[in-house]
Amino acid sequence: MGTRNLICIRKNRQWVVAKYCQWDGYPSGQGMKLFKFLHVEENIARLRAGLAHIYKPTEDEFQKYYDAEETADESSPWLLSLSRDTGGGILELIANATADHKLPIVSELIVCLFCEWAYIVDLDDEELTVFGSSERNYNGHPFEEVCGDGSYVPKCMAVFTFSVLQSLNDQIFNEVASDIENRADLNLMPVEAEPTELNANEDASKSDSNGNDASEDSVDAVTS
C-alpha cells in the first residue's frame, strides 16, 4: 500500500540518515521491519559500525545510479540504498557496509512534512520512536527545526527502548503496532505503560483493585 514514511537514524545528536519510503509505512509494515532488526542486540553494534561507511553521492554519481537502475542487479546494495522501496531494510544495508563497500545514502529529512508515518532510531538514547498523524510544531519536537514554526509535524505515538523491543516477540509487537495504528487514526495521544505490561501472559485477564477480573483488550504502546 502506498503509505509514505520516513526512517531516520540519529547518532551523536545529529541526523545521519533520513530515508524516504513510498510503501507500507504502518507500524505493522515498515515498523515490523525495524522491530525485527532492532530485536537482535548484535545488530545495534553492526548498525553503529556501518554508519562509518555511508556517504552522500554526488549528483553525477546519483545520475549514474539512476541510469543503471533498469539494468542493475535488483539485489545490488547501492541500488537498494537509493530506492524508495527499501524502507526498514535500510538498517541491514547500513549494517553490512564496510570500508571496501561503502553505501550511498540520500537523506530527505524535509519529507517528514508529507509522510503519514515516521520513525527515529536514536542510537544515543537507544530508542525507537514511532510518529503517526500530525500536530502543530512545538518547542522541543524532534522535527521542530526541520518543519519550521507554525507548521504541522508528525505526532509521537510511541517510544520503545531497544531493551523493550528485544524482550518482545512478533505477536506482541503486532498487537502493539495495531494499537498504535488505531490511535493514529483517531488522532489520540499515546497511552503510557510500563514495559512489563508488554510481556506475554498466558492468562489474558488480571484482577482490578477490587479483586474482579478485568480483561485486557489490547496492548498499550510504550512511551517514555
- Amino acid 215: pLDDT: 34
How many Å apart are CA 175 and CA 157, to the nearest integer? Answer: 14
- Amino acid 137: pLDDT: 85
- Amino acid 188: pLDDT: 54
For residues 62 and 82, the answer to whether their CB atoms sit within 8 Å is: yes
* Per-residue pLDDT tens digits for 131-164: 998 888 888 888 888 877 778 888 999 999 999 9
* Per-residue pLDDT tens digits for 17-44: 999 998 899 999 999 999 999 999 999 9
How many Å apart are CA 68 and CA 197, to the nearest integer? Answer: 49
- Amino acid 207: pLDDT: 39
> Which segments of the chain have a pLDDT < 70?
1, 68-75, 186-224
Can you tell me whether residue 143 is helix, strand or coil? Answer: coil
- Amino acid 1: pLDDT: 59
- Amino acid 217: pLDDT: 36
Average pLDDT value for the chain? 81
Can you tell me whether residue 187 is helix, strand or coil? Answer: coil
pTM for the model? 0.79
Q: N- to C-terminal Cα distance for the chain?
A: 30
- Amino acid 130: pLDDT: 96
- Amino acid 157: pLDDT: 94
Strands 117-122 and 5-11: what pairing? parallel
141: Cα separation from own chain's centroid = 16
- Amino acid 209: pLDDT: 40
